[in-house]
Amino acid sequence: MNGHDNKYGFKLFYGLVIVCFMLLTVSAFGQNIKQAVAEAIKNNPRIKAQQSQVRAAGLETEAAFGESLPELNFDISYNHVTDIPEFKIPFIGSSVKIGTYDKFDSGISLKYVLFSGFARQNAITLKKQMRKIHTIGLEKLKKEVAFQTIAIYRKVQADKIEKAVLSASGKRIENQLKRTRSLVKEGMMLSLDTLNLSLALLENENKMLVVEANLQIDLQFLQNLTGTNTIPLETLPVFKDALVSQWQKQKNEQLKLLDIQKNMAETSAALHRSAFYPKAVVQAAYRYGKPGLDVISNKWMDYGIWGVGVSWNLFNGRADQLKK
């Protein structure tokens, strides 16, 4: 009983070792199809360029939004004049100089566009739509690379299977040829039978050369796509991949692009129409300097300024109409 248990335990241990070795071999020398697609998307230079465009469009959107926020400025200045106005007092014969040779000024100002004819809102929307176009282009490019990688991955697997089939067929023909030659020597078969088998073996070898060349070309193409030394797993190809189904579930990118391009045309037209509206701006400032507002006393002083301005371009030679 103990001997039987030891023998069973040894077989179980041996089986576990074999399984572990197979798993290590697969992880070390092969990549599954999802890993190959992930590497292709990660290393594709066109995808990297498109990702840069998406990031740039995102920054432009943030910049457009930043332009809609209040504008805060700080300034400081010093000016010196060589001459100032002089006021002569009649009948007295004396004169008084009005102003100062040196002027110091500093301040903080705040400016905010209350109404721009919806120009800023439309500008932000336009940038967002442009970012969506780049994003959809990125997804479309990823799908193209993924489908291309899946197709060539399966092609390499098919090449390997065809090579294995031809190899087994060649061995079968060689064994049959050996047996036939032995029977010919014994006078039990004709030499013509060996000739047919030799031709079949030669044809099989020619097919093997073609398949081997195709395998090397397809494998190199796959490795160029993934940017790594990708070696597909030795698994049978299937007619329907779960990964292909996952990509096919996404909405057609071309339809998305048409929708966004239509919206962009409407937004662009609205942006041009904003030129027909008046613009309203509110601004305020805190100033500190010498002489300040009191030029005669010539002292340091602080003061505040605020105001609202409205501008409306009534006519500019139909330039805005022609831009529509």
β-strands 279-290, 301-311 pairing: antiparallel
Spell out the residues 6+ positions from residue 98 whose beta carbon is closer than 8 angstroms to its own: 84, 85, 86, 87, 295, 296
Spell out the residues 6+ positions from residue 92 whose beta carbon is closer than 8 angstroms to its own: none
Please determine, for residue 28, whether its predicted confidence score (pLDDT) is greater than 60.
no
Closest CA to 149 of 32, 37, 233: 37
pLDDT digits (tens, 9 = 90+) for 280-294: 999 999 999 998 888
Amino acid 115 reads: F
User: What predicted TM-score, i.e. pTM, was given to this entire model?
Assistant: 0.66
| Residue 284 near residue 304, CB atoms below 8 Å | yes
Coil/strand/helix, residue 274: helix
Q: Residue 63 corresponds to which tokens in the numbers above?
A: 């910049």
Spell out the residues 6+ positions from residue 3 whose beta carbon is closer than 8 angstroms to its own: none
Alpha-helical regions (H) of the chain: 2-29, 33-43, 45-67, 119-185, 191-226, 242-248, 253-273, 319-323
pLDDT digits (tens, 9 = 90+) for 124-178: 999 999 999 999 999 889 988 998 898 899 899 889 999 999 999 889 988 888 8
β-strand partners of 104? 78, 290
> Could you give the percent of the chain with pLDDT greater than 90?
35
Stretch 6-12: mean pLDDT: 42
Q: Report which of residues 3 and 273 the model is more confident about.
A: 273
Q: Report which of residues 37 and 248 the model is more confident about.
A: 37
Spell out the residues 6+ positions from residue 221 whose beta carbon is closer than 8 angstroms to its own: 152
The pLDDT value recorded for residue 319 is 54
| Lowest-confidence segment of 23-37, 58-72, 92-106, 257-271 by average pLDDT | 23-37
| Lowest-confidence segment of 20-29, 50-59, 233-242 by average pLDDT | 20-29
Please determine, for residue 198, whether its predicted confidence score (pLDDT) is greater than 60.
yes
β-strand partners of 77? 105
Gap between the Cα atoms of 180 and 188, Å rounded: 9
Coil/strand/helix, residue 233: coil
pLDDT digits (tens, 9 = 90+) for 176-192: 888 888 887 877 777 77
Domain ranges of the chain: 1-30, 31-323
DSSP state of 117: T
Q: How far is CA 124 from the centre of its chain?
A: 21
Gap between the Cα atoms of 152 and 233, Å rounded: 13
Length of the chain: 324
The pLDDT value recorded for residue 240 is 52
Q: Report which of residues 31 and 211 the model is more confident about.
A: 211
CATH 1.20.1600.10 fits 31-323, yes or no: yes
> Could you give the percent of the chain with pLDDT greater than 70?
81
The pLDDT value recorded for residue 310 is 92
Coil/strand/helix, residue 107: strand
Q: Residue 69 corresponds to which tokens in the numbers above?
A: 């926020």
DSSP state of 234: S
Sheet of 301-311, strand order:
71-80, 102-115, 279-290, 301-311
Q: Report which of residues 4 and 192 the model is more confident about.
A: 192
The pLDDT value recorded for residue 318 is 54
pLDDT digits (tens, 9 = 90+) for 83-132: 887 777 777 767 777 778 889 999 999 999 999 888 889 999 999 999 99
Angle at Cα 302 formed by Cα 301 and Cα 305, nearest 5°?
A: 140
Please determine, for residue 25, whether its predicted confidence score (pLDDT) is greater than 60.
no
Q: Residue 176 corresponds to which tokens in the numbers above?
A: 């049959």
Helix 191-226 and helix 33-43, axial crossing angle in degrees, nearest 10: 50
| Residue 205 near residue 174, CB atoms below 8 Å | no
pLDDT, averaged across the chain: 81
Stretch 65-77: mean pLDDT: 93
